[in-house]
Amino acid sequence: METKERAEENKICPLEVAVNTISGKWKIPIVWQINEGKKRPSEFLRGIAKVDRRVLNQQLSEMVDDGILTKQSFNELPPRVEYTLTLLGEQLVKILWQLNDWGKLLIPENEKA
């Protein structure tokens, strides 16, 4: 019985991995901003209210590590960095659109814009 319990504890749940990958207050707004064509950290700072530059950079770095974004650094003065969605990131955008449509079902009729 103990072996079965240990096996269940070590099982990888794809849904949990997916949720952990996009968890973070600013990750979904970052994906939306990139999907709309914004690529530079300064554009994200202007487009996402109240995000701290340090937190933004941390979440961008995590998304690069997770394979959602790619980071391109240009050898210029001043330094320039741009982020783009990977194929995995583009798949995430499709899923977020579906989640957006599902979210509409949760909004009461009298509160819809």
Residues 84-101: tens digit of each pLDDT = 999 999 999 999 999 999
At residue 79 the predicted structure's pLDDT band, cuts being 50, 70 and 90, is confident
C-alpha angle 95-99-103 in degrees, rounded to nearest 5: 170
Query: Rounded to an integer, what distance in angstroms lies between the CA atom of residue 78 and that of residue 92?
Result: 32
- Calpha distance 44→49 (Å, rounded): 9
Q: Model confidence over 9-29: pLDDT tens digits? A: 677 888 888 888 988 889 999
pLDDT reading at 80 higher than 60: yes
**Looking at residues 65-74, what average pLDDT do you find?**
95
3 state DSSP class of 22? helix
Q: CA–CA separation, 7 vs 22, rounded Å?
A: 26
Question: Residue range 39-50: average pLDDT?
Answer: 88
Domains along the sequence of the chain with CATH: 14-105 (1.10.10.10)
> Given a cut of 60, is residue 4 above it in pLDDT?
no
107: pLDDT strictly greater than 60: yes
How many CB atoms are closer than 10 A to CB 92?
22
- Kindly give, in sequence order, each residue whose CB lies less than 8 Å from that of residue 28, ignoring residues fewer than 6 positions away: 22, 96
* pTM of the entire predicted model: 0.80
